[in-house]
Chains A and B, each alone.
Chain A
Amino acid sequence: MLEIKNLTYKVDDENDTTKEIIDDLNLTVEDGKFIVITGPNGGGKSTLAKLIMGVNQLTSGQIILDGEDISEMDITERAKKGISFAFQAPVHFKGIRVIDLLRLAAGEFISVAAACEYLSKVGLCAKDYVDREVNASLSGGELKRIEIATVLARGTKLSIFDEPEAGIDLWSFQNLIKVFENMRKTVNGTIIVISHQERILNIADEIVVIENGKVKKHGTRDEVLPELLGTSAAAAMACEKLGGDQ
């Protein structure tokens, strides 16, 4: 279980005024859930994800993983405790090949066949990719999927994906949705996805809405999604509520 207690993250802006990106935020994520975090741009979603991974160091509060306070741990320690992170903008490496990155992710010298398995899961034709360098010769969509494959190869109890849809074309996006639908069925651990996409929200167990550095809403998909979408379902719910009051 991941518990976030009174989490605050402040930064000083250009005018030397302190801004709270994350403001006394509380959130509990239960094991094995597929959670989608959404909300307006600049609301603090990515920052929250980076605080969980330790990429950014919190100002105050606590992050507790399975009862252990990991707030002071560095990225490496948190990774070893079982947190994985797929970055919004995948990093390029000159000379490091896809197979090397997957081996580092798996923490062992996995076979080419095993590496191909992970690549297939993210919809890449494996043999074309294992020996490619993880550099700008790969497209944004390819890099994104390789990034996701590294998280699959780690197979940790908590996997965080920061806007997997960002920067990829529509065609790649269709395939990406399939990757997540598939992951939804096959991965045992907890998955947190930061996303604006309705189709990803659609496969969530729970949806968390973050706005102005705080949790604005947190509930099951059926509770949160209709309201977010402002669909007829939301309208129906509202009518029901009105009817009940009368």
Chain B
Amino acid sequence: MALDAIQQKIITEVADLHGVPEGAYNIRANGSSAARSTTANIDIVTKEDNPGIDIIIKPGTKNESVHIPVVLTESGLKDMVYNDFYIGEDADVTIVAGCGISNCGDQDSQHDGIHTFHVGKNAKVKYVEKHYGEGDGKGSKILNPVTNVYQEEGSYVEMEMVQIKGVDSTLRTNYAELKEGATLLIHEALMTHGTQSATSDYKVVLNGEDSSADVVSRSVAKDESEQIFEVSIEGNTACNGHAACDAIIMGDAHVVAIPKLDAKNVDAALIHEAAIGKIAGDQLIKLMSLGLTEEEAEEQIVAGFLR
């Protein structure tokens, strides 16, 4: 199945792909697989019990990437998919997911992706997930991603979650469990506008000695949009956990930050920071003194903040 122009444009938005990607990939369009490629080290297998795929990465695979973008261009489609990643020991890979919805119709379009990662000992994974919505129909664009991460000893996972534009409603649920010496870094960049709503719920459980997690969210809420950011870090041993939520609030938006730290060991070092505020007046003044209009200054501040 070939992608049409709109689908190709959305793939570019969510996966930075301008053609067929190198390495392994699986492109899902309107609820079915549109294109797939595997490599000697990375296999992609269609699930038999549920919609979705298993992505199996051999131990020791180095510097390879997997792209698994999803596009929805049919109005009224409700798509649900289970993708399981098995990342072998000592592998070092980049996984680019992402979902784009173009909804010009009047019915809601929805994609719920459930991603589960089994990260082998000393493996290193960079995961990038971008969300994008467009289309001026009355139908909503809804994305409810779930990620479950199980990290073995010494593994390293870096997750970048970006949702900047056009998604009407999101409920993001993330769960992670870390064994000894494992590291998890999560960076979320979120912007909501109009009457959009976005809820992010992160839960990290640090079970292994010297495991560490850093969950950082930067968000901008404009117009009448609403954001809820909930993060919970549980430390069951000597470990390090840090969570930060930093939000810019504009217009009539509503932002809620709910931190929770749960230490069950005297050597669990857990920290949380949260800040919500409008754009500082002195930032606007500085950029205006460089010749920018107030609107241009705001754009620059927001773009930098969400970088």
Binding site for B on A (CB under 8 A): 53, 55, 74-76, 79-80, 83-85, 87, 89-91, 93-97, 100-101, 104-105, 107, 150, 154
Contact = CB atoms under 8 A, between A and B. Distances in A.
A94 B293 contact: no
> Nearest 9 A-B pairs (CB), nearest first?
A95-B304, A96-B304, A75-B288, A79-B291, A95-B307, A91-B286, A95-B305, A85-B289, A76-B288
Nearest to B288: A75
B283 to A, nearest CB: 5
A76 B293 contact: yes
Contacts of B292: 76, 104
A100 B299 CA distance: 13
Given A107-B291, A154-B290, A55 B218 contact: no
Contact of A55 (B285, B305, B307): B285
Contacts, number: 61
Contact of B286 (A87, A97, A154): A87
A74 B303 CA distance: 24
Contacts of B218: 94-95
Contact of B304 (A53, A83, A93): A93
Given A76-B292, A91-B283, A94-B304, 13 more contacts: A53-B289, A75-B285, A75-B289, A80-B291, A83-B289, A87-B282, A93-B301, A94-B305, A95-B303, A96-B300, A100-B300, A104-B290, A107-B291
The size bracket of the interface on B is 20 to 34
Nearest to A55: B285
Given A55-B285, A91-B283, A94-B218, A100 B290 contact: no
B290 A79 contact: yes
A53 B289 CA distance: 7
Nearest to A53: B289
Interface in B195-241: 218
Nearest to A104: B290
A104 to B, nearest CB: 5
B280 interface: yes
| Residue among B282, B285, B288, B291 with max Cβ neighbours from chain A (10 Å) | B291
Contacts of B307: 95
Given A76-B294, A91-B280, A104 B287 contact: yes
A95 B291 contact: no
B134 interface: no
A79 B134 CA distance: 37
A74 B288 contact: yes
A79 B286 contact: no
A25 to B, nearest CB: 22
Contacts of A105: 290
A79 B293 CA distance: 10
B279 to A, nearest CB: 10
Nearest to A134: B304
A94 B305 CA distance: 5
B162 interface: no
21 contacts: A75-B285, A76-B292, A79-B289, A80-B291, A84-B289, A85-B289, A87-B282, A87-B286, A87-B289, A89-B282, A91-B286, A93-B301, A94-B246, A94-B304, A95-B303, A95-B305, A95-B307, A100-B304, A104-B300, A105-B290, A154-B290
B306 interface: yes
A147 to B, nearest CB: 9
B45 to A, nearest CB: 40
Contacts of B290: 79, 84, 101, 104-105, 107, 150, 154
Contacts of B303: 95
B263 to A, nearest CB: 28
Contacts of B304: 93-97, 100
Contacts of B305: 94-95
A96 B301 contact: yes
Given A55-B285, A95-B218, A95-B306, A76 B291 contact: yes
Contacts of A107: 290-291
Contacts of A74: 288
Contacts of B289: 53, 55, 75, 79, 83-85, 87
Contacts of B288: 74-76, 79
Interface string B27-59: 000000000000000000000000000000000
